[in-house]
Amino acid sequence: MAQAVRRAGAAPARRPGPLHVAAAGAFIADMNLHASPVPSAAAAAPPCFAGLPAPDSDDFETLSAFCEAHRVDALSALPWVAAEVAQSCGFAAMLRLAHRHGGRRVYLPRGRTACAARLGLELDASAHRRLLDRASAAGTIEVPSAWGVFVALRRVAIRAALRAGCDQREIAHAFGVTERHLRREVDSLQVRAGDAAARTPESRQ
């Protein structure tokens, strides 16, 4: 009866032999080996984002390197004084300035040598001039607090983790923020992406 039901010319089904099983196992192992790893929020939030690290510590160097790797985003996120200093002298010098004078108004000498002695860093001529132009009538600038600088850079790191596709709950836990805060960041990124798309030549055709 079984032969009568079987269609004419159809070959009987074969069970996979040992070689087929071994080949399939090797293929799956190879796929797992070359598969892209799932981004980890913990890897995106090293200890340097647990708080602004002390100068000359390993975490300080890690944070400085992160800023250099995300230079455009970091500069745009920082308060203007911090951004000017970072662009002129580097992120490490800016972070040291925030530790030394953060949260205070500091007199900015008109001479670059005196300014370097006061701030503890040497601004280039154009950055010095821009800071002087925006100084108060008393000749002072307000150096952003170390906490304000840290929060700005942490936001850059959070957005980098979101773009990398990390799990939002993991990001919230790793960076010590709420999921509601992350949803606002996601909305902000989507708005920025929409604005960027609207500015492309194709969108204006």
Which residue spans within the chain are E strands per DSSP?
105-107, 140-142
* Amino acid, single-letter form, for residue 23: A
Tokens found for residue 25: 């196992």
- Say how far apart CA 126 and CA 181 lie, in whole Å: 37
Cα 70 to chain centroid, rounded: 6
Higher pLDDT, 145 or 27: 145
- Say how far apart CA 161 and CA 192 lie, in whole Å: 16
How much is the pLDDT for 33? 36
Q: What are 11-59's pLDDT values in tens digits?
A: 444 444 443 334 334 333 333 333 344 456 655 566 677 777 889 899 9
Contact 103, 71 (CB under 8 A): no
Q: What is the pTM of this model?
A: 0.70
